[in-house]
Structures are given as structure tokens and as C-alpha cells.
Amino acid sequence: MAFFHYATPLIALALVGCGKAPQQPPPGPSPVSVVTVREQSVMLKSELPGRTAAYETSDVRPQVNGLIQARLFQEGDQVRAGQPLYRIDSAPYAAQVASARAALGRAQASIASSAALARRYGELVAINAIARQDYENAITAAQQARADVAAQQAALRSAQIDLRRTTVSAPISGRIGRSVYTTGALVTAAQADALTTIQRLDPIYVDVTQASADLLRLRQQVLAGQVSTGGNARVRLKLEDGTVYPIEGTLKFADVSVDPTTGSQTIRAVFPNPRGLLLPGMFVRAELAEGTQAQAMLVPQRAVSRDEKGNPTVMVVGAGDKVEIRALKTSRTIGDSWLVSSGLKAGDRVIVEGGQMLRPGMPVKPSAWNPNASAAKPAGAPAAQAK
């Protein structure tokens, strides 16, 4: 027994002296965090750049010639349709109304005498006391007198319209801008420059542009039954400072033509603007809900890498808990995930964390991925070991 106790360490020393170290046990499967792919209903959204535009715009121009005698509004005020804005010198047009009224009176006076003459000639021609030509001339004169009355009535109405136009009124309700012309300025009915501009800002339009290829793909998905759309799609708005506009808008229509220079199509949405926060010309970003894809598969962006050709790939845990590489086709991002159109099926386990040093065929020990733990972990920290 004593010999055995002394021989054992001697044998070990002899083995060490011969350079044969004890062999290490093979490493176990690498722990990885996985997410199980499943089909789910996903709302498809697009965030597109755009600009606001007034719902209605009216350039106020004079319809008669004359000097501006008064401006009847404050610049920047809210005006209503029919509200007086400018007053143009009305004296010449009042004189035209008086002249037209006098001419109408003269025509009405002549119609009585011509009608009476036509009646008398009718009695005389019946007994052959006058020539029939004289009777016909009297009838023609009476008809001309009635036509003169109608013409003078029209001239009077025209003069009255011009007189009313010396007060320039607002054609629409809205916010009025600055006045280009001041009191004492001479204006004409055919001038190109507007006196001022009125814009209706509640509601207000938002015009955004989207690539025609994206719209074509969406239409094809709708026709194929992959995406379902409702009625009027709701639209959210992000302002220039990054804040979200508190009121949702409604998608109205997409333009019927594509801009050949940019390959884009204009989409118009309308937003309520009760507080006047949105002004024409503002840059905004609109989030459009395009439709719902009922059988969509999402994969976290951090799980997707690129091969040497730039194609998206993921590592999945296959049969026997061994690593496999799958090539994907992705159509768009939704939040922090990719929308996968092909390459995966429901139930596949995609490696999200712990796959940096893995190769196809290597055994792994999968555990469910916890996105909250990943978000709380500092950048550069190693993946949590599965227990």
C-alpha cells in the first residue's frame, strides 16, 4: 500500500516530464438569445416629407378704376366673406348711374307715344285711310322703343354694379395678409398685382410626395390581397421642431400623374387647424397609414446582417440546436424591426444576441431574447450567459 501511494505522484511527474498535459474537456454549446418568428397583423405606415398649403386662397383685385380712398381692415385679421376691405372713389360711377337712370326714363317716355301711334295707325289702316307701310313703320318704331327701354335697363344695372364695386369686399372668409396698396393709390380693373391676399387656414392642406414605385408596390399588394385598406386613411403630422401635431388628418387623394423629373406622386391630406398653428409653406413630415398586412413577419434589426453582396441574412437555430444561415428578402422597416417578405417561416428561431463568433453547424444553447434587458445593458457589454 505504501508503494502505491508513492508511485502515483511519480507516474504523474513522469507524464509531465514527457510533455503530455492532461486534455481539457470540449467546450459546451454557446448560449444565444433568440426570438421566435410568428405571423402577426401589422399596420403599414410611411413617413413622408411635405408642406402645408392653404385650403382656399383668393387674390383680392379691383374690378373698377379709381383712387383708393380708405382701407377698411387690419392686416393679419380674420375676415369674413362679403366684408368691405377697400373703398374706391365712387363719384364717377354714381354719375354713370344717374345718367343711365335718365336715359332709361327717356326711353320709357318714348315707348308710350310710339305705342299710341301704332294703335291709331292700326285703326286708320283698317279703313284704308293711310298706307299700310306707314302702319308697319309705326309698329317697328314701337318695338324699337321697347328694345331701347330694355337696353337702358341693362345699362343702369351695369352702372349700379360698377358703383357697388367701388367697395372692394372679401370673396372668401379667412386670414388676410398685408395690403400692397395704400390709401391714395390709383388702381385699375385689369391690373396684375393683387391688393391683398386672403387664405382660409382651417382646415389646411398638407401636400406630401411619395415615390411612384412605392405606391405601385402598395397597389399590387392590395390587389393581391396581402394588404387591406379601409376608407379614409388617418394621417399624423410631425412639425419642424419635432413635436407631433395633436390632431389627426385625413388622406384625401393621390395625384393622377407622376412627376417625370422626380418620379414621385403628390398625396394630399387635410387637417383641422382651429388654433391657426399650421401656416402655409411650413415643412412637415406626415405619417400615413397605408393599410394592414394580416400575415406579416417581423425580425429585429439587430439580428439582421449583410453578406459580401449586401444581401440581408440572419442566423437561425435549426435542427439539433445547430446554427443555420438564411438569406432574407425585406421590404421595409417597422419601428426597430424588418418586415420580412421571404426567407423565414413561422416558428423559426432567429438569433438576436450571442451570434458574433458563430459559424454554420455549431451547436448553441438558445434562450428567449429579452429586449428590455438588451436595452438596459451598456453598449459593448457581452451577451448574458444562459443558465
Q: Is the pLDDT of residue 144 over 80?
A: yes
> Mean per-residue pLDDT for 229-246?
80
pLDDT tens digits for range 52-75: 999 999 999 999 999 999 999 999
Q: How confident is the model at residue 3 (pLDDT cuts 50, 70, 90)?
A: very low
- Which of the residue ranges 114-123, 241-250, 370-379 would you say has the lowest mean pLDDT? 370-379
Closest CA to 178 of 76, 82, 70, 59: 76
> Mean per-residue pLDDT for 362-367?
90
Q: What is the rounded CA–CA span in Å between residue 259 and residue 252?
A: 19
Q: What is the pLDDT of residue 226?
A: 54
3-state SS string for the chain: CHHHHHHHHHHHHHHHHCCCCCCCCCCCCEEEEEEECCCEEEEEEEEEEEEEEEEEEEEECCCCCEEEEEECCCCCCEECCCCEEEEECCHHHHHHHHHHHHHHHHHHHHHHHHHHHHHHHHHHHHCCCCCHHHHHHHHHHHHHHHHHHHHHHHHHHHHHHHHHCCEEECCCCEEECCCCCCCCCEECCCCCCCCEEEEEEEEEEEEEEEEHHHHHHHHHHHHCCCEECCCCCEEEEECCCCCECCCCEEEEEECCCCECCCCEEEEEEEECCCCCCCCCCCEEEEEEEEEEEEEEEEEEHHHCEECCCCCEEEEEECHHHEEEEEECEEEEEECCEEEEEECCCCCCEEEEECCCCCCCCCEEEEEECCHHHHHHCCCCCCCCCCC
pLDDT tens digits for range 165-221: 999 999 999 999 999 999 999 999 989 999 999 999 999 999 988 887 777 776 665
Could you tell me the sign of the dihedral formed by the alpha carbons of 127, 133, 136, 137, in that order? negative
Q: What is the pLDDT of residue 200?
A: 95
Contact 235, 221 (CB under 8 A): no
Q: What is the pLDDT of residue 161?
A: 95
10 Å Cβ neighbour count for 153? 16
> Mean per-residue pLDDT for 318-322?
88
Q: What is the pLDDT of residue 234?
A: 78
Strands 305-306 and 234-238: unpaired
Q: What is the pLDDT of residue 380?
A: 43
Q: What is the rounded CA–CA span in Å between residue 386 and residue 280?
A: 57
Mean pLDDT of the chain: 83
**What percent of the chain has a predicted confidence (pLDDT) above 90?**
41
- Which of the residue ranges 130-144, 268-282, 290-304, 341-355 would you say has the lowest mean pLDDT? 130-144
Domains, the chain, in order of start with CATH, read 30-42+295-371 (2.40.420.20), 44-55+202-293 (2.40.30.170), 63-88+167-193 (2.40.50.100), 90-165 (1.10.287.470)
> Mean per-residue pLDDT for 100-128?
80
> Mean per-residue pLDDT for 80-98?
95
Q: Which residue has better confidence, 143 or 281?
A: 281
Q: How confident is the model at residue 230 (pLDDT cuts 50, 70, 90)?
A: low
**What percent of the chain has a predicted confidence (pLDDT) above 70?**
85
